[in-house]
Structure 1
């Protein structure tokens, strides 16, 4: 406890009239509790009983700034310093108390010294000590490592469930469900107006009729202007591929793997209602001209190229499957 130092008093500023006739102040020091564990906090208390006219000053705890502890000094640290309390007053006698909250880092029976205060009397400044030395017993928890092996980590402590923790999420979730239900109901009413259901949204669109696919492909070929740029072979190859694809879809003939002669032989068995004579003649002319260009490297003139395109276009139009109009009341669903 050597770090308890005093604040010097200016003797000239202290009214000491008549102090010499007074009884010397009595000092008492103690700790509470008197037994702690290593690292625990305790209170170091100094009490002084003196006359009203006498002057005493309690020590100030000096903190170490260098981190070093002098030999023989208790390893304590100041946690809190409380103000001076007046415990009692009887006539001219006062009983004062000063408390220091400390933390101990020594073990065993630690000598905390005797309580001390600074006392000023006329021209004398002296230190007064308590009668008894203060001791503090510091215990260390002993662990028998031979009797008990290492223990596993404890599981996470369960906490009681509180509705308030998830109440906000439940309200937002309920609002989202109500909004979704409203959107689904509105979509269902809108689809019902057009005679459709939710299944129609995800159902793939039906395939286009073969003649629609062929007409679109012919129009795209015409816009590319292949023969106008001298690409005769590419022009007739694509023209015949369009017709082969159409014949396969319209009549169920594997025209994509057939030669021109095999295609013509296969369509001859069709009835005139399915394949009019003019359409058969146009198909024969187109395939013959295409073979001359692709295999004999012929270069037809502009008129022939345009005629073959026109023949292909009308071949599709004349042979397409006629769509029957639904009778009244047939195919009509809820509107």
Structure 2
């Protein structure tokens, strides 16, 4: 019975001790690795914290000291060991120093939170770092001025490899050019044919493509009526200038209508052009808002105006798609 009682007592004391131990304040220590460096070298500032599992700590953000010490890399927190409820954490900062001297990096600080406690914990001892530089003994070592640049004689073998590779490349290009020349000669063509610009599109083809692009932008559907009619009239002005040589780009609507009276046009095409220009002026200057039916009608009028007035010799060009397919 005595032995059983003693065992129970020891167990109770151990549990009580572990309970008290779990509430101990975290212990903060810090050191540098190595503690002495040459100027410009890197070193690690290391903070270790031993704490209970439920305790919360936050490691500091590096604070440069007058620009003499710089942070190179901030490593994540690492768990070194775990013993029951006790944890040992490590935070490592990679730094560099660029001035000679003995540095007092101070004590390490961490933020501690546990239940209703919010405190700053510090390491017991300050951390020191010695930064040394290269020592020059002017009594035993002579100091000389910088020597002038020395010009070495040029040797052909220094660039011989480049010359051989360049010659091989030139031969390869010449062989390729000759093969291309023979290939073109068999087809009755010349080198100049490869670099000729594409012939310009006939005026009516360019106008039809521009109208289809304008229609696909869906401008009036998004209440951009002014942009819609400005684009449409610009396309017609460009077509008229290219088709009849009229300076339509600098003319008003009335001037365009007047200049086209001397041209042979189908009556419907003449009326459609007048209607489009009048509607466009109302939209651009009177801020009119046409309905959907009128917008589509003016587009079709512009499309068929181009179709009905194109040059006869251009009818052999590929047929344009139906405008309503867009």
TM-score, L = length of structure 2 = 0.46
Q: Which has the higher helix share?
A: 2
Quick one: higher RCO (CA 8 Å, sep 6+), 1 or 2?
Answer: 1
TM-score, L = length of structure 1 = 0.44
Structure of greater Rg: 1
